[in-house]
C-alpha cells in the first residue's frame, strides 16, 4: 500500500490510497468518524474495477488530520491483532 497526498492544509488532508479498496477505507473512515476531533472523513472510488480510493479527512479547530489518521490506523492495527488472536485460538 502507498499513500499519495494530493492536498494538505492545516485542517484537511486529501490522499490517494494506492492498492487498496473499500475494505480498508471503509473501516478507516468509520474509526475516523468516531474521533471527536474529526468533522468528516469520506472516500470515493471512481471506477469499481480500476479506480483507487481518494480519502478526505477534515478536522475541527486546530487538530491535525494526520494525527487523527495515525490514531485510526493504530486502532485498526490493534483490533486486527486481537481478531487474529481469536482466529488462532479456534
For the chain (length 90 residues), average pLDDT per consecutive 10?
Answer: 96 97 95 97 91 97 95 96 91
56 φ, ψ (degrees, to nearest 5): -125, 130
Which pLDDT score, from 0 to 100, does residue 28 have? 97
Q: What is the residue whose three cell numbers read 468533522?
A: 39
Q: Which three cell numbers stand for residue 25?
A: 477505507
* Angstrom distance (rounded) from CA 54 to CA 43: 5
Which pLDDT score, from 0 to 100, does residue 16 have? 98
Coil/strand/helix, residue 48: coil
Which pLDDT score, from 0 to 100, does residue 57 have? 98
Instruction: Quote the pTM value.
Output: 0.90
Which pLDDT score, from 0 to 100, does residue 1 have? 86
80 φ, ψ (degrees, to nearest 5): -65, -45
Amino acid at each position: 500500500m502507498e499513500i499519495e497526498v494530493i492536498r494538505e492544509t492545516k485542517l484537511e488532508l486529501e490522499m490517494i490510497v494506492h492498492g487498496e479498496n473499500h475494505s480498508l477505507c471503509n473501516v478507516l473512515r468509520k474509526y475516523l468518524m468516531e474521533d471527536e476531533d474529526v468533522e468528516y472523513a469520506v472516500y470515493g472510488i471512481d471506477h469499481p474495477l480500476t479506480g483507487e480510493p481518494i480519502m478526505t479527512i477534515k478536522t475541527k479547530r486546530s487538530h491535525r488530520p494526520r494525527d487523527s489518521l495515525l490514531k485510526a490506523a493504530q486502532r485498526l492495527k490493534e483490533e486486527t491483532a486481537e481478531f487474529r488472536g481469536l482466529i488462532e485460538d479456534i
